[in-house]
Amino acid sequence: MRFDGKRILVTGASRGIGRALALQLAAEGAEVLALACSSEALDDLPEGIERLACDLTDGSARTALIAGLQLQRLDGVINNAGIQITADFAKGTADPQDIVQELAVNLTAPMHLAAGLLPVLAQSPGSFLVNVTSGLALAPKPLAPVYCASKAGLRSFTRALRYQAEDAGLRVQITDCVMALAATQMTDGRGRGKISPNTAAAALLNGAAAGKIEIWVGQMKLLRLIHRLSPALAARILRG
């Protein structure tokens, strides 16, 4: 697959991996639709990249976004936006509003976008949809239970969506990108051995271009092997 000339929506495009995706796609000749919570957050993107503002926690805003996109040609969607909030349910510090917000961005929004945009993608030859998940979808860590649950849910949803598309004869490549820990604002102060956003974005795009339905980025390749051989060992590693 080539990205040249394709119209591609990238969520969470104001910084980190999303920004790197937008820039790399634009460099390859794609027509990039960069989405963030506010248009101001996208001001420093180069000319030629279309800026879209949408609060993904707001169902009405998502509906309006989808309605506009349904009137256009769309060749690709990369659901990259994500948030991670530390919460300790055992200590009573889990905020119900945080739970709703985290699930909305990480799980509900990708589902909503898929529901509204899959028929649009199906009209474009060589179209694709990538959902960015995490190794924490396989084995959770204690500090971010809602994030882990949302990524596990998104991974399962992505596979089920692929099955539905295949059964319906829709020629849309649906991919789960199991992302490694990258050096972004969200992961500041968390973990070691982070890869750069540029490296993460390149791995995703290379995998999508190669037609992969699962992309295992960086150390996630090793986690995949460990999880196959011993799920208990993978759980211990990620639990820390």
Our answer to whether residue 163 is catalytic in this structure is no
Helical residues (DSSP H) of 104-230, grouped into ranges: 109-121, 145-167, 197-209, 220-229
Alpha-carbon span 96 to 149, nearest angstrom:
15
Catalytic member of 147, 175, 181, 215: 147
Alpha-carbon span 94 to 177, nearest angstrom:
28
Alpha-carbon span 99 to 125, nearest angstrom:
38
Q: Which residue in this structure is represented by tokens 């996109």?
A: 69
Residue 145's nearest CA partner among 195, 106, 197, 178 is 106
Alpha-carbon span 187 to 174, nearest angstrom:
26
Alpha-carbon span 66 to 207, nearest angstrom:
26
CA 23 to chain centre: 16
What amino acid positions are annotated as catalytic residues?
147
